[in-house]
A and B are shown apart, each in its own frame.
Chain A
Amino acid sequence: MQTEFLTGNEVVVKAALSAGARLMFGYPITPSTEITKTFAEEAIKNPRLLFIQTEDEISAGFGVIGAILGGKKSFTSTAGPGTVLMQDPISMAEAMRLPFVGIITQRGGPSTGTVIYSQQEVNLTCFGGNGEGLRIVYSPSNLQEVYDLTIKTFNNAWKYRFPSFLLTDGYLAKAKSKVEIYEPSYLSTTKQILGDAKKIVNIRNTYSTEEELAKILDKYINEYEQISKHIRDYESYHCTDAKTIIFAHGSVASACRAACSQLKRVGLFRPITLRPFPEYEAKMIARRADKVIIVESSAGQFSRMVKNAIFGVKTVVLEYQKPALGITPEEIIGLLK
């Protein structure tokens, strides 16, 4: 184990390499670009790595799929309009149960928006595509978690074969901090899906009848529900005797945590996985409080998930939403004092 002073995007590459990533396909877009740059630099030094700069995000995503079919851990990173285009390959990965790994570095939207920050890619990352959102999505709130959860993203993608994502933002991507870099104690194994001479496979994503597709979807949805209990993750902070519970994720949760430490009887519930969502735990915590306040840098993308999870709970629910704007501990303190 060693401590290094790194930016969030550099941490992603360190973690991807620790997790066994061999190929990266990418297209430059702020604020994710340093991930491609750093991986390209690593690939120069290490002949076992390959970086391919593609013509667009669609091609990057399908390149990742091709490499995964060949049995290699592979990933891409993108943001904003790139996340929109990326839904094309992600949807195929979802249909074919491929261990697609994407690092989504949120920027302001809609459209080109800003290049800096938002929490507006929650919907797209969790539920984008023309399917049911059978995906695993981690939302880290500090750089150490960027390292830890990137490794988990790769491990769970290959273990459970659902497309998996690390959902960061420009603040996390560009911030620099001390991070402990270690060899993971567990690494998921890989499997060559196509081109393994031992067995012929014919893989498709087009079905002839509604019933044929429905049968496969039922199976996948059922499997997703089964594995959810092993993946769902959350942090509760100062919640034991709290009257007010803040619900927040990612960078915003980091600000809320700082606020909680200075406020009396205010706790934080932070889903670490947005998909699958820790619904049961969210409901139990919300039930005990007098008041729940859902805080996010979007106009309700996260709030809808929380409200869905705690449906039926009588606790008062308030919302504090600043789409595409950062949120500081001071304003949370001002809000709840």
Chain B
Amino acid sequence: MIPKCYKKENLPHKFCPGCGYGVILKSLGSVIDHLKIANKSVIGLDIGCGLLAWNLFDVDTIQTHHGRTTPTMAGFKFAKPEAIVLAIMGDGGGYAIGLQSLLHSAHRNDPITVILVNNTLYAMTGGQMAPTTLANEITDTTPKGRDSEKTGLPFLGPEIIATLTNKQAYIARASIRSPLQVESCIEKAIKNQMRGKGFSFVEVLSICPTNWKTNAEESFKFLEKMEDVFVLGEIKKP
């Protein structure tokens, strides 16, 4: 089912064949439909593959600078507290260049919902190491595999953010292996904002066949490896 809040005229979407974003955005679309919030929501999109969704939704969207979606959308929420404010970003945008803003937004308990897509690399620029790159994973900038002695272990975003937020925060990690789980976590995160509770955050494990250079089967095998490192589930809920 194509979400009602998609702009049909802009389909098919612009993502690579097999990209996990299709599942994630469709899940978000279903939640927006289900909660009937298309005309109350605004979606901020970071630079990275996510920006390709800039005109996918029949919902107000703004595409910002790399790493700057969190402060932009927090600023919007301060001006328009009644709006449902969503920020979509990748692991580079959220955990590297935009980490300072993400952590402080969580720490302030800004009442916005952040959806962060973790595919273990910078996909838009052709597959470089991200904070989430697995140990020994080969990327453009780690041609012999990520040396975790020198470059650290995969960044555990939700676990770190959970330590900064207060009891009102909703923090979860889902995987596109289970679209229903993705949908459920996104719905709970948005409802947390709608109830006026505070910061809500969902990291979604996704696949990138283009940069991983994997076929469908291999892509899901790698996703399985990711799920061993990045533990799925609700990490914090009010």
Where the two chains meet, the residues of A that have a C-beta atom closer than 8 Å to any C-beta of B are 22-23, 25, 50, 52, 54-56, 58-60, 62-72, 74, 88-89, 91-92, 192, 194-197, 200-206
Sample of 10 further A-B pairs with CB below 8 A, known A55-B101, A200-B58, A203-B54: A23-B78, A59-B101, A62-B75, A67-B75, A69-B42, A70-B78, A70-B79, A195-B76, A195-B80, A206-B47
Whether the Cβ atoms of B71 and A70 lie closer than 8 Å is no
Whether the Cβ atoms of B58 and A67 lie closer than 8 Å is no
Closest partner residue, chain A, to B104 (CB atom): A55
User: B47, B78, B100, B103: which contacts A66 (Cβ < 8 A)?
Assistant: B78
B59 within 8 A of A: yes
- Distance of A57 from chain B, by nearest CB (Å): 11
User: Which residues of chain B come closer than 8 Å to A56, judged between CB atoms?
Assistant: 100
User: B42, B75, B104: which contacts A195 (Cβ < 8 A)?
Assistant: B42
B129 within 8 A of A: no
User: A25, A55, A197: which contacts B75 (Cβ < 8 A)?
Assistant: A25
Q: Roughly how many angstroms separate A201 CA and B55 CA in the complex, as a whole number?
A: 9
User: Known: A64-B75, A70-B83. Contact between A202 and B68, CB under 8 A?
Assistant: no
- Distance of B19 from chain A, by nearest CB (Å): 18
Whether the Cβ atoms of A72 and B51 lie closer than 8 Å is no
User: Which residues of chain B come closer than 8 Å to A69, judged between CB atoms?
Assistant: 42, 62, 72, 75-76, 79
- Distance of B163 from chain A, by nearest CB (Å): 17
B215 within 8 A of A: no
- Distance of B45 from chain A, by nearest CB (Å): 8
B74-128 with Cβ < 8 A to chain A: 74-80, 83, 100-101, 103-104
Q: Which of B40, B64, B71, B101 has the most CB of A within 10 A?
A: B71
B2-39 with Cβ < 8 A to chain A: 39
Q: Which of B57, B64, B72 has the most CB of A within 10 A?
A: B72
Whether the Cβ atoms of A62 and B83 lie closer than 8 Å is no
Whether the Cβ atoms of A62 and B71 lie closer than 8 Å is yes
Closest partner residue, chain B, to A50 (CB atom): B78
Whether the Cβ atoms of A66 and B74 lie closer than 8 Å is yes
Whether the Cβ atoms of A59 and B79 lie closer than 8 Å is no
- Distance of B77 from chain A, by nearest CB (Å): 7
Q: Roughly how many angstroms separate A64 CA and B77 CA in the complex, as a whole number?
A: 11
Nearest 9 CB-CB pairs, A to B? A66-B75, A70-B79, A63-B75, A66-B76, A67-B79, A62-B71, A59-B71, A70-B80, A55-B104
Whether the Cβ atoms of B60 and A200 lie closer than 8 Å is yes
Whether the Cβ atoms of B78 and A202 lie closer than 8 Å is no
Q: Roughly how many angstroms separate A324 CA and B104 CA in the complex, as a whole number?
A: 35
B63 within 8 A of A: yes
- Distance of B74 from chain A, by nearest CB (Å): 6
Q: Roughly how many angstroms separate A59 CA and B75 CA in the complex, as a whole number?
A: 9
User: Which residues of chain A come closer than 8 Å to B80, judged between CB atoms?
Assistant: 70-71, 192, 195
Whether the Cβ atoms of B55 and A202 lie closer than 8 Å is yes
B65 within 8 A of A: yes
B190 within 8 A of A: no
- Distance of B130 from chain A, by nearest CB (Å): 20
Q: Roughly how many angstroms separate A242 CA and B150 CA in the complex, as a whole number?
A: 69
Q: Roughly how many angstroms separate A71 CA and B79 CA in the complex, as a whole number?
A: 8
- Distance of A62 from chain B, by nearest CB (Å): 4
Whether the Cβ atoms of B72 and A66 lie closer than 8 Å is yes
Q: Roughly how many angstroms separate A196 CA and B78 CA in the complex, as a whole number?
A: 15
Whether the Cβ atoms of A88 and B68 lie closer than 8 Å is yes
Whether the Cβ atoms of B60 and A204 lie closer than 8 Å is no
User: Which residues of chain B come closer than 8 Å to A200, judged between CB atoms?
Assistant: 58-60
Q: Which of A58, A195, A200 has the most CB of B within 10 A?
A: A195
Q: Roughly how many angstroms separate A202 CA and B42 CA in the complex, as a whole number?
A: 10
B166 within 8 A of A: no
User: B61, B62, B64, B104: which contacts A54 (Cβ < 8 A)?
Assistant: B104
Whether the Cβ atoms of A202 and B79 lie closer than 8 Å is no
Whether the Cβ atoms of A65 and B63 lie closer than 8 Å is no
B196-222 with Cβ < 8 A to chain A: none
Whether the Cβ atoms of A62 and B68 lie closer than 8 Å is yes
Whether the Cβ atoms of B100 and A194 lie closer than 8 Å is no
- Distance of A51 from chain B, by nearest CB (Å): 10
Whether the Cβ atoms of B63 and A195 lie closer than 8 Å is no
- Distance of A202 from chain B, by nearest CB (Å): 4
User: Which residues of chain B come closer than 8 Å to A88, judged between CB atoms?
Assistant: 65, 68
User: Known: A64-B75, A206-B51. Contact between A195 and B64, CB under 8 A?
Assistant: no
Q: Which of B78, B83, B101 has the most CB of A within 10 A?
A: B78
Whether the Cβ atoms of A92 and B68 lie closer than 8 Å is yes
Whether the Cβ atoms of A205 and B63 lie closer than 8 Å is yes
User: Which residues of chain B come closer than 8 Å to A206, judged between CB atoms?
Assistant: 47, 51, 54, 63
B171 within 8 A of A: no
Whether the Cβ atoms of B78 and A55 lie closer than 8 Å is no
Whether the Cβ atoms of A74 and B79 lie closer than 8 Å is yes
B73 within 8 A of A: yes
Whether the Cβ atoms of A194 and B39 lie closer than 8 Å is no
Q: Roughly how many angstroms separate A88 CA and B78 CA in the complex, as a whole number?
A: 21
Whether the Cβ atoms of A58 and B76 lie closer than 8 Å is no
Q: Roughly how many angstroms separate A205 CA and B64 CA in the complex, as a whole number?
A: 7
